[in-house]
Amino acid sequence: MEGPRHDPTPTWWFLYLMGLLLVGLAVLIEATVPGDGLRSVLELAVVVLIFGLMATWVRRNRVAIELEEARARRQGRDR
């Protein structure tokens, strides 16, 4: 027995959370880590980590994003 089908929607809140995490970690590193060398390495590590998380988010939400874009195109064409 199958229930009603629900189209997936992108988890935008998680993407926004990752952006806030990037900014928060960059500010924390800037405020607490002395020295230019270590600070630069830590900031680079945070950027690479967030980039990896965002790439994973895009991979997991690709279908939902495409469905959302198709819905928007259909609604624009129906008008």
What are the domain boundaries of the chain?
Answer: 35-79
> How many other C-beta atoms are found inside a 10 Å radius of the C-beta of residue 53?
16
**Which pTM does this prediction carry?**
0.72
Q: Could you read off the pLDDT of 24-52 as tens digits, one per residue?
A: 999 999 999 988 899 999 999 999 999 99
Q: What is the pLDDT of residue 36?
A: 84
Assess whether pLDDT exceeds 80 at residue 4. Answer: no
Give me the percent of the chain exceeding a pLDDT of 90. 58
Assess whether pLDDT exceeds 80 at residue 77. Answer: no
Give me the percent of the chain exceeding a pLDDT of 70. 89
Using CA atoms, how far apart are residues 11 and 13, in angstroms rounded to an integer? 5
